[in-house]
Structure 1
């Protein structure tokens, strides 16, 4: 039923649980896994030198790619091949967009990530994804 599963990870304990659940799910159903990590766009102050901006974006991307690389290593230990996606933007929108573009049939993610207190007032990423998604969303607690 779910041949393609997209897993959203952010380095939180909940996203680790979501990843483990996705691997178990994939093994049982011979599903293909896609991983996505979304970094929010950085607020750039006026007058910030281009070299500084480039460095900040580079560091942010390196951290995101490291997170994905660790997940790929973990998947390899489990005998699971995965594809990875690193994107920047608003997390919920980017996750839903990637799920649609990649013809994913299920999104798996943690119930709470590394978001700040603002997320409590505005609603979590997982809530937004479940509202916007074209496919089912499994939220791991």
Structure 2
């Protein structure tokens, strides 16, 4: 039923659970899986030194690369081949956009991410993805 699955990760415990749940799903159904991580746009204030801006971008890129490398290593340990995608922008919008562009049939993600404010039931990104998505969204708790 779901041959193409997109898993959104952000480094949170919930996103790791979502990734592992997707691996189990893939093993049972021989589906293809892609992993996406969205870097948020960095707010740059007026007068911020260029060296600071460069350091922030460098740290963000390193964290994103490490996160996707960890996902790839987890997949390899499970004997699963994945595709990784790194995009920049507003997470919910980018996840839904990629799912539509690449015709994914299911989005898997954690119920809460690394955001500063926790929602009462769902994180703001997962809630927005469920509202905007053209395909089913599996939220892992």
With structure 2 as the length reference, what TM-score do the two structures score? 0.93
- Find the counterpart in structure 1 of residue 137 from structure 2: 137
The equivalent residue for 1:107 is 107
Unaligned runs of 5+ in 2: none
Counterpart-to-counterpart distance in 2, 1:102 and 1:24? 22
SS at match of 1:134: coil
Inter-partner Cα distance in structure 2 for 1:16 and 1:52: 30
Deviation, 1:88, is: 1.3
| Alignment match, 1:61 | 61
Match in the other structure for 1:120:
119
Distance in 2 (CA, whole Å) between partners of 1:101 and 1:57 is 27
Provide the residue aligned with 1:77 in structure 2.
77
Q: Which runs of 5+ in 1 are unaligned?
A: none
The superposition leaves residues 9-49 of structure 1 with CA deviations (integer Å, 9 ceiling, x where unpaired) of 11111111100100000011111110011121111011223
> 1: CA distance between counterparts of 2:88 and 2:115?
15
The CA RMSD over aligned residues, in Å, is 1.5
Q: Distance in 2 between matches of 1:133 and 1:116?
A: 24
Distance 1:66 1:13 in 2: 15
**Which runs of structure 1 show a deviation greater than 2 angstroms over 4 or more consecutive aligned residues?**
49-52
Q: Could you state the TM-score of these two structures normalised by the residue count of structure 1?
A: 0.93
Query: Number of aligned pairs?
Result: 140
